[in-house]
Amino acid sequence: MKRTKRIIGTLVSAVVVALCACQQKPYPIFFLSEADSSEGMSAKFILMYNGRPYTRMPIVTHKNIASYHSFMSMQDGSFGVVFTLKKELVNRLYMATVNRQGMLILPVVNGLAFQPLRIDGPITDGKLVIWSGLNGYDLKQIARDITPENPDMEKKRFSNKNPRPLPKMKKDTKNQKKDYTGRVIGEIFDSAS
C-alpha cells in the first residue's frame, strides 16, 4: 500500500514538473511613455531610444490587454495591430495620457521597438495601435496570450517561422547596463534592423 502511494506521488510530481517545463513565456508586449524632463528621474529609471528618454516602467504590458485585431499595413505590406485594454485599465491609460500632449509612446514587441505614437489628446477608448512592422510569426505568438477578436481571420495570417530573428546579444555582460540587483538590463532593438 505504501509503495503504491509512493509510486502515485512520484508520478504526480513528474507530471507537475513536466507541465511546468512545457509552459511558454508570454510574448512580451509593452508601451513606454516618453519621460518628461521635469520628472527628475535617475538614469536607472530612464531608457534612451533614438535620442529620446522613455520611462522603464511601462504604462501597458501584455498582461493589461484583453484582445487584439490585426490589419494589413498599407506602408510596407506588414501587419499592424490594435490592442484593446481590459476594462479596468482604460482609466489608467487615460490618466497616463491626459497631460502628455505632444509626447510619445514607444511600442515594444519581443524586444523590438516600433514606430512611436504621438499623443494628441487623452486616450479615452482604451486602444493602442502598432501601425506596421509585425509579421505572421508575431501575430501567432501574440495570440498565445491575448484573445484575437476574429480568430479565423488571425489564423490565416499566422506563420511558424520568424523571418526577423532578434540580433545576437553580447556574451560579455561586464560592460552591459545592470539594474540595482545586478541583472543585465534587456536591450531594445529597432524593428527596422
pLDDT at 36: 80
Cα separation, 12 vs 160, in Å, equals 32
- Predicted confidence at residue 56, as pLDDT, reads 87
pLDDT in tens, 39-94: 555 667 788 888 888 888 899 999 999 999 999 988 888 999 999 999 999 999 99
Most confident of 150-154, 163-167, 173-177: 150-154
The larger pLDDT score, comparing residue 165 to residue 180, is at 165
**Can you tell me the distance from the alpha carbon of 149 to that of 83, in angstroms, rounded to the nearest whole number?**
10
pLDDT, tens only, 9-35: 444 444 444 444 455 688 899 999 998
CA distance 96 to 15: 44
Contacts (Cβ under 8 Å, ≥6 apart) of 16 = none
Residue 133 has pLDDT above 60, yes or no: yes
